[in-house]
Homo-oligomer: A and B are copies of this chain.
Amino acid sequence: MTYQLHYWPTIQGRGEFVRLALEEAGAAYVDVARGDGDDGGEEALMADMAAQDHPPFAPPYLVDGDLVIGQTANILLHLGLRHGLAPKAEAGRLWVNQLQLTIADLVAEAHDVHHPVGMGLYYEDQKPEAARRAREFRTQRMKKFLGWFETVLERAPKGGWLTGEDLTYADLSLFQAVEGLRYAFPHAMKRLEPRIGRVIAVRDRVEARPNIKAYLASPRRIPFSTEGIFRLYPELDPV
How big is chain A's contact interface, by range?
35 or more
Please indicate the chain B residues that have their CB under 8 angstroms from the CB of A145 in the complex.
Answer: 57
Across-interface contacts of A66 in B (CB, < 8 A):
91
Fill in one digit per residue for A116-144: 1 if any B CB lies within 8 Å of its CB, else 0.
Answer: 11111100001001001100100011000
Query: With the chains together, A224 CA to B57 CA distance in Å?
Result: 27
A120–B139 Cα distance when bound, in Å, is 11
Chain B residues whose CB sits within 8 angstroms of the CB of A94 once the complex forms: 67, 69, 74, 77-78
Given that A67-B94, A118-B132, A136-B119 are known contacts, is A74 also in contact with B57, CB under 8 Å in the complex? no
Beyond A91-B67, A117-B116, is A56–B136 a contact (Cβ under 8 Å)?
A: no
Please tell me if A20 contacts chain B, counting CB pairs below 8 Å.
no
Is the beta-carbon distance between A71 and B97 smaller than 8 angstroms? yes
Whether A73 and B101, one on each chain, are in contact in the complex, defined by CB atoms closer than 8 angstroms, is yes
- Let me know if A108 is at the binding interface, CB within 8 A: yes
Q: Which of the segments A147-155, A174-182, A186-194, A195-203 contacts the partner chain?
A: A147-155
B112 touches A136 (CB 8 A): no
Q: How far is the CA of A54 from the CA of B83 in the complex (A)?
A: 24
Residues of B within 8 A of A136 (CB): 117-121
Q: Contact: B57 with A155, CB < 8 Å?
A: no
